[in-house]
Amino acid sequence: MTEDHIATMPKVEQHLHLEGSIRPGTAQRLAERHGASLPESTEPEFTGFDGFLRAFLAGLELLRDSEDFAEITEDLAAELAEQNVRYAEVTSTPFNHHRRGMAMAEYREGLNEGRKRAAQLGVGIGWILDIPRELEPPADGFTADYILGPLAPVGVVGIGLGGPEPGWPAAAFQRSFARVTSAGLAALPHAGETEGAASVRSAIRDLGAQRIGHGIRALEDRALLAYLSDHRIPLEISMTSNVCTGVVATLADHPIRALVEAGVAVTINTDDPAYFYTTLTKELTIAASHHGFTLDELADLQNTAIDSSFADSETVGAFRRELAAWRAAGP
């Protein structure tokens, strides 16, 4: 099994942050456009989860107007298209830009234009707009207001919850999630990344989570694993991310295989590919090389990803047919 062959597989990604996809070349173009300075190295450097968050937030300063958002979305879509990613649910964090003084109409226009450009490249995008738990006051409700208001971009599929778990429990954001899900959108929070199984339980109980970002600490609770399996609540796995942020020691130590063997539905994702120097093709190759996933198993995970996505029925059907044809063709 080669990475080149895995690259030809049609793919879906569920856990991918727009602002974490800005590669050094794109950052350089944005800096030049705005007359901003970059450090001598545009490669992000950080240690641990908190260090990653500081680097991530610093990178937001390059995003100043609607064209910036359109451009980073287009660049991301071009990278996805090269890997045969057909559909991606991409997370963005409106509060981070609102607090920097950006007009939300400008933000919306950038996302809308970027999504149009992505479609022209053959990549469908659904937006997940998430709450930064350490920054947005729970009583504020800004993200829920934005999603439900007139300035939301086209293609929003759900509300997310990101940032550090310790000290910012999911239950505090219950009202925001209830408002958004009552409007028919999905609950897609991060949990069980930097805190244990109780965080995953809270995301399900308090927020009505339909998928869990990361969730690997669910392994600490056998009853929770059974619940995830029985209710088909997928975990969005990002192996390289977990190693880079210190959640897991090495790629070989990642519990993805144990989760699958416990009957939990999982998908494979990149999280913040520019910060973790990865691609979806690379993550699938890691699953094969480090954890023994076969091509059939990798294809099964892609079916899991499209089936647990919030793509429209036409996109789902077309993807399943293309994946079946790829599978039938063999290596």
**Structure-token match 């619940």, residue found:** 227
Closest by Cα among 131, 140, 139, 193 to 160: 131
Reading the block at residue 194, the tokens are: 């930097």
End-to-end CA distance of the chain: 8
Q: How far apart are CA 307 and CA 221, in angstroms?
A: 26
Cβ contact 99:131 at 8 Å: no
Coil, helix or strand for 214? strand
Cβ contact 296:326 at 8 Å: no
Instruction: Say whether 113 is catalytic.
Output: no
Q: Which of 19, 71, 113, 193 is catalytic?
A: 193
Cβ contact 285:8 at 8 Å: no
Q: How far apart are CA 11 and CA 168, in angstroms?
A: 33
Burial profile 230-251: b = 16 or more Cβ within 10 angstroms, e = fewer: eeebbbbbbbbbbbbbebbeeb
The DSSP-derived string for 122-160 is T-EEEEEEEEETTTS-TTT-HHHHHHHSTTPPTTEEEEE
Please name the residue ranges forming H helices in the chain.
3-8, 24-34, 48-59, 66-82, 94-98, 104-120, 142-148, 174-182, 197-207, 222-230, 239-244, 256-261, 273-276, 280-291, 295-307, 313-329
> Which helix (H) or strand (E) is 235 found in, with range?
strand 235-237
**Structure-token match 């607090």, residue found:** 99
Annotated catalytic residues are 193
